[in-house]
Amino acid sequence: MGDLTSTNEHRHRRATRFGWVCALLPLVMVTSGARADAASPSRASAGAKTWSVSRNGSILQIGYGSGVNFPQYAALDLSSGYFRMVYSTASDWGTSVLLLPALWSKASCPKDYCQGAPVTASWRRSGADLLLSIHGTIATLKVAATVTLTPPANRTLVAHVSTKVTGTVKLDNRPGEAFKPVMLASMHDSSTRWDSRAAFIGTRVYRLPSSGWIIHHPVATRDFGLRGGTSSLKNAPTIEVILKQRRPVTGWLQKTSNPNHDNVGFWCAANKVLASWSFSVTAEPGDRL
């Protein structure tokens, strides 16, 4: 995995269709010889693998390993609620999953659309797993999410997410995008410059357009994601979402020539504010699907 301090410095994520601007702070690897701060879970004896959590600015760094070798497998941007995962140290960072819902509401969003907001996080180990408790507020909705990370194995990292929302807002009339409980954000500039090369629903693959709707008519499914792989920029993971229940899925690509801008959104939707939902998200090699 590359040095994310230099490659991600001063990156600005923007997509006019989504109505948001988010600056991604540097994500720094926990590498061999790095010392996690005092807030990290205590180290197990040499050879017994466990989780390490440390904070670098607004980035929560999550590593897994033993002794003083804790490669970073996940990162949470506390300023936005964006969560990224990799399946091994052979993978670079790519697609993000939003831990807060996104929504269209002229009544509650300053610019009609709300996506990403600051979150707080606490964590503890539960057996071999790591449990993150995430809290944030978006468009007056109070959101609490629990993220359970299982130990990486077989070049796969899985997180189970359970979310609850308190409050209500008046949503705009936007079929297929009014309320997005689960959303993936990524980048696709061209056939050679991308973090995600295609979208998929179940076993069906959808080519990403030069701009516009990825799927013109939402498809009801439990299984969707963005396929990674090796581009001219990086080796990015495939990110797959498995919902607890079927929901309509669609997405949008905003044309860009800046590889530092997230211009792909792929989400499941509802026409009302949901009180709760659950899903799993998996990071795996791009050639798996």
- Please write the tens of the pLDDT for every residue from 63-84: 999 999 999 999 999 999 999 9
Q: Look at the block and give the residue holding tokens 């990292």.
A: 157
Per-residue pLDDT, 272: 97
Per-residue pLDDT, 144: 98
User: pLDDT: is 201 or 259 the higher one?
Assistant: 201
Q: Which two tokens stand for residue 162?
A: 């359970």
For residue 12, what pLDDT band results from cuts at 50, 70 and 90? very low
Which three-class secondary structure state does DSSP give residue 141? strand
Mean pLDDT of 244-264: 90
Mean pLDDT of 190-195: 92
Percentage of the chain surpassing pLDDT 70?
83
The Cα–Cα gap between 47 and 77 comes to 30
Over 50: is that where the pLDDT of 241 sits?
yes
For residue 256, what pLDDT band results from cuts at 50, 70 and 90? confident
Mean pLDDT of 173-196: 95
Q: Which of 164-173, 198-207, 249-258, 275-284 has the lowest mean pLDDT?
A: 249-258
The Cα–Cα gap between 64 and 46 comes to 13
Which three-class secondary structure state does DSSP give residue 4? helix
Per-residue pLDDT, 47: 74
CA-atom Rg of the chain in angstroms: 18
For residue 257, what pLDDT band results from cuts at 50, 70 and 90? confident
Per-residue pLDDT, 45: 52
Output the DSSP codes for 231-243: -SS-EEPEEEEEE
User: pLDDT: is 163 or 43 the higher one?
Assistant: 163
The Cα–Cα gap between 107 and 120 comes to 25
For residue 239, what pLDDT band results from cuts at 50, 70 and 90? very high
For residue 100, what pLDDT band results from cuts at 50, 70 and 90? very high
Per-residue pLDDT, 43: 45
Over 70: is that where the pLDDT of 132 sits?
yes
- Please write the tens of the pLDDT for every residue from 18-45: 443 333 333 443 333 332 333 344 444 5
For residue 273, what pLDDT band results from cuts at 50, 70 and 90? very high
Q: What's CA 35's distance to the chain center, in Å?
A: 25
Mean pLDDT of 262-282: 97
Over 50: is that where the pLDDT of 11 sits?
no
The Cα–Cα gap between 152 and 149 comes to 8
Q: Which of 43-47, 179-183, 184-188 has the lowest mean pLDDT?
A: 43-47
Over 50: is that where the pLDDT of 61 sits?
yes
The region that residue 192 occupies, defined by phi over 0 for left and psi between -120 and 50 for alpha, beta otherwise, is: alpha
Quick one: DSSP state of residue 5?
H
The Cα–Cα gap between 115 and 93 comes to 20
